[in-house]
Amino acid sequence: MQTAPRSAAPTTLSDAELRDLDAWWRAANYLSVGQIYLMGNPLLRKPLRPEHIKPRLLGHWGTTPGLNFVYAHLNRAITARDLNMIYVMGPGHGGPGPVAASWLEGTYSDIYPDVSRDEAGMERLFTQFSFPGGIPSHVAPETPGSIHEGGELGYALSHAYGAAFDNPDLVVAAVVGDGEAETGALATSWHSTKFVDPRRDGAVLPILHLNGYKIANPTVLARIDHDELDWLLRGYGHDPIVVEGADPDDMHRRFADALDRALNRISEIQHQARESGRSDRPAWPMIVLRSPKGWTGPAQVDGLPVEGTWRSHQVPFANARNDDDHRDILEKWLRSYRPEELFDEDGAPAAQIRDLHPRGTRRMSANPHANGGPLVRDLALPDFRDYAVPVGSPGSESAESTRVLGAFLRDIMRGNMSTFRMFAPDENNSNRLGTVLEATARTWNAEILPGDERLAPDGRVMEILSEHTCQGWLEGYLLTGRHGLFSCYEAFIHIVDSMFNQHAKWLRTTNDIQWRRPIPSLNYLLTSHVWRQDHNGFSHQDPGFIDHVVNKKADVIRVYLPPDANTLLSVADHCLRSRQYVNVIVAGKQPELQYLDMDDAIVHCTKGIGIWEWAGTDRGVEPDVVLGCAGDVPTMETLAAVEILLEWFPDLKIRVVNVVDLMRLQDDREHPHGLSGTDFDALFTTDKPVIFAYHGYPWLIHRLTYRRTNHDNFHVRGYKEEGTTTTPFDMCVMNQIDRFNLAKDVIDRVARIQPVAAHAREHLKNKLIEHGQYIRAHGEDLPEIADWHWQGIDSR
């Protein structure tokens, strides 16, 4: 850990420095405009003709010169201070900027040799941008130096903090666009200042870039009083330094000075904390950059102002290929950067430019933290079998599964005190994971009062009541090569549906990018699930995140529904070892029956799906009916249904199939975990009725199995948006996934027993009526249910 203050840089820019900075900026801007417009004549060594211009112009100019301006200045600071710095660009629409910068720094050509640092390479650089078969117009996984997909807005700060945690020497410069600043995710992520430890963590330097406009509207933060903005940023815990203007030379001098002040202050804060051993929360410096949208672009086009307005947001004028006037404006604009000074005879950056950027891994486009894969070290994992719940016979004991997991997580935490964190929206304890607090505190660098429990600046359990911030922090942490777990109420994980989308797409894309190595998986533990919302009721019931997740590519998503504690331990161990997936684990936190001892759990989880012979009666014979189940509550109800059925039909051949790894249900041609047709048929038969009790919305099981031989005989029960404040068992009844209804489903579908089923059917009907009456009168579980659980199971 670096404890000496970094050497103070000069606070005044020399004329030579200014000239260099400006030349680098002009080069990056030239290359950015070139990417948006050109497909030939990249160095303008000929007059610009229609065929040099792309037939379809797509891209965003508006934010790009600002991003380039900051890049140039950060480079100066990195060189002067030997900084370890990465750059998160919130306004990721400015994709041409970082692509231009990494080409200037040489990284781009190192990674993509066909985009060489010469005229041919520059032409390729221009042509590929936002072009079929080329690169996206946003900062994307393909962009060296980026951990931040620039498609959706709002995650810049939470990603930046995620990168800075546990990286004490890293400074993350994070540009926040004034558009994205209006998003909810961004607006609350400013409060990350209360969750960073100046001793242990790196620093984030936010740069709020006010260029004043979104697509078609001004931005809120650019149009409130300057005082209000200053208050707001101080309220977030920052000490803002404002740089405002449009004149390049003036702005260079002032921004360089502001950056030096901010970096000096960060050094002081860290030095002081690390020397004193105290982590008092400072007012962290930040910079407000007010510069024109589309800065250095054409002032006017067709008589309307462009620079400094929303008209520069995308392509400032669209007819450069076919309209001579527009083409003339474009040529003048490009020549205004004086490319002849910037690039040499071959089209490579001129020597003067080449020498301006930092060297090796100090280049932001080559900083290892911006490509977490190669940095990943395996977690030191204790043996999960040591945390097993003893299970004498299935269903004879009860445990809170997530609490059992908590002990495993505590020891994972102990063994990985700088590479593993847990994240939750104030739900860590509610989700029964509190044991982890024996190993570490909750991260907290705001006021701590006597009586507070387990709060500390260097805590590693990160709790803020913002699913967005939890997700963003974790993503930043994973993308820089570390590990984590996000536990959340099942219904409210939908808050981050869109963030999940972006991360899953990032993983999908990076699977095809050789130089990006696999990163640790994003692990969700969803608990407080739909079946146990006893008082929270209807508003807290939604098991649909699984549906959302399985819409993404099969090669990046995994879904697990461990039915008890030992299977949960096994699944969690597997997920924490995995790379490059999104793993969704759904598990209950309430006391629930335990079925499998650890050896059986491991076997079951390894297969992901299997016949529970001890629970069924189909010893070696084709069953009359298959009862499938996935999820803890459906499994319990299924086993109880078996009991009921056997009381009435002792010779019924029932097969119980439990599913832990949901994607096993899918065809092996559609998901890597999918079962072959033969294996599937061996479990579910080709023609027997299947009654499947599923944790979530029932149609997902149909979706996963619709190509299977026996699909027409699948009858699926699941959550169908019924029930609110009631008992757990009544929730099952209302959604017809309870033992009585499942038993009825079997009776209705097994032809062999129907002649003798009248009494049983009547009995079940009465049980349901009785239940309804009892519930309305007493509001508790049916009294016999407690006794009924699994008696007899262990005797078979």
- Burial 48-87, CB ≥16 within 10 A → b, else e: beeebbbeebebbbbbbbbbbbbbbbbbbbbbbbebbbbb
- Minimum distance, C-beta of residue 2 to a copy of itself, in the bound complex (Å): 28
Q: Is 465 in the site for a copy of itself (CB under 8 A)?
A: yes
- Burial 354-379, CB ≥16 within 10 A → b, else e: bebbbeeebbbbbbebbbbbeebeeb
Distant-in-sequence, close-in-space partners of 345: CB < 8 Å, separation ≥ 6: none
Residue type, 124: R
DSSP class of residue 604 equals H
- Minimum distance, C-beta of residue 575 to a copy of itself, in the bound complex (Å): 22
Site stretch for a copy of itself (CB under 8 A), options 70-78, 134-142, 201-209, 645-653: 134-142
* Run of H or E including 574: helix 565-577
Name the phi and psi angles at 251, rounded to 5: -65, -35
- Minimum distance, C-beta of residue 664 to a copy of itself, in the bound complex (Å): 17
Q: Is 621 helix (H, G, I), strand (E, B) or coil?
A: coil
Q: Where are the beta strands (DSSP E) in 320-425?
A: 397-400, 420-424
| Binding test (CB under 8 A) with a copy of itself, winner from 272, 352, 398, 430 | 430
* Run of H or E including 585: strand 582-586
Q: Is 779 in the site for a copy of itself (CB under 8 A)?
A: yes
| Binding test (CB under 8 A) with a copy of itself, winner from 22, 230, 249, 600 | 230
Site stretch for a copy of itself (CB under 8 A), options 255-263, 319-327, 480-488, 723-731: 723-731
Q: Where are the beta strands (DSSP E) in 315-443?
A: 397-400, 420-424, 442-443
- Minimum distance, C-beta of residue 346 to a copy of itself, in the bound complex (Å): 26
Cα dihedral 180, 214, 59, 21 sign? negative
Q: How far apart are CA 74 and CA 72, in angstroms?
A: 6
- Minimum distance, C-beta of residue 409 to a copy of itself, in the bound complex (Å): 16
And the tokens for 167?
A: 């990286």
Site stretch for a copy of itself (CB under 8 A), options 97-105, 149-157, 409-417, 671-679: 149-157
Residues 53 to 112 in contact with a copy of itself, rule: CB under 8 A: 54-56, 58-59
Q: CA-based angle 511:99:498, to the nearest 5? A: 50
Q: Is 47 in the site for a copy of itself (CB under 8 A)?
A: no
Residues 327 to 386 in contact with a copy of itself, rule: CB under 8 A: none
For tokens 């407000």, what's the residue?
288
**Nearer Cβ to a copy of itself (31/470):** 470
Q: Is 234 in the site for a copy of itself (CB under 8 A)?
A: yes
Residues 189 to 228 in contact with a copy of itself, rule: CB under 8 A: 189-191, 194, 214-220, 223-225, 228
And the tokens for 317?
A: 């004028």
**Nearer Cβ to a copy of itself (699/788):** 699
**Nearer Cβ to a copy of itself (351/777):** 777
**Nearer Cβ to a copy of itself (391/586):** 586
Residues 253 to 312 in contact with a copy of itself, rule: CB under 8 A: 305, 309
Q: Is 432 in the site for a copy of itself (CB under 8 A)?
A: no
| Binding test (CB under 8 A) with a copy of itself, winner from 34, 90, 98, 179 | 179
**Nearer Cβ to a copy of itself (55/591):** 55
Q: How far is CA 25 from the centre of its chain?
A: 33
Q: Is 730 in the site for a copy of itself (CB under 8 A)?
A: yes
Q: Is 233 in the site for a copy of itself (CB under 8 A)?
A: yes
Q: Where are the beta strands (DSSP E) in 122-202?
A: 170-177
Residues 616 to 645 in contact with a copy of itself, rule: CB under 8 A: none
- Minimum distance, C-beta of residue 543 to a copy of itself, in the bound complex (Å): 9
Q: Where are the beta strands (DSSP E) in 226-380?
A: 238-244, 284-290, 300-301, 304-305
Q: How far apart are CA 657 and CA 684, in angstroms?
A: 8
And the tokens for 546?
A: 């699984």
- Minimum distance, C-beta of residue 17 to a copy of itself, in the bound complex (Å): 34
Among residues 500, 461, 455, the alpha carbon closest in space to that of 484 is found at: 461
Cα dihedral 662, 664, 669, 672 sign? positive
Q: Is 703 in the site for a copy of itself (CB under 8 A)?
A: yes
Q: Is 642 helix (H, G, I), strand (E, B) or coil?
A: helix
| Binding test (CB under 8 A) with a copy of itself, winner from 159, 265, 369, 442 | 442
Residues 504 to 523 in contact with a copy of itself, rule: CB under 8 A: 505, 508-509
Q: How far apart are CA 671 and CA 663, in angstroms?
A: 7
| Binding test (CB under 8 A) with a copy of itself, winner from 140, 172, 241, 474 | 140
Number of residues that bind a copy of itself (CB under 8 A): 118
And the tokens for 404?
A: 């059992």
**Nearer Cβ to a copy of itself (272/509):** 509
Residues 526 to 555 in contact with a copy of itself, rule: CB under 8 A: 534-540, 542, 544, 547-548, 551-553
- Minimum distance, C-beta of residue 188 to a copy of itself, in the bound complex (Å): 4
DSSP class of residue 667 equals B
| Binding test (CB under 8 A) with a copy of itself, winner from 125, 153, 412, 750 | 153
**Nearer Cβ to a copy of itself (478/734):** 734
Q: How many CB atoms lie within 10 A of CB 234?
A: 12
- Minimum distance, C-beta of residue 706 to a copy of itself, in the bound complex (Å): 5
Q: Is 239 in the site for a copy of itself (CB under 8 A)?
A: no
Q: How far is CA 396 from the centre of its chain?
A: 39
Distant-in-sequence, close-in-space partners of 407: CB < 8 Å, separation ≥ 6: 387, 435
Q: Is 317 in the site for a copy of itself (CB under 8 A)?
A: no
| Binding test (CB under 8 A) with a copy of itself, winner from 20, 119, 123, 149 | 149
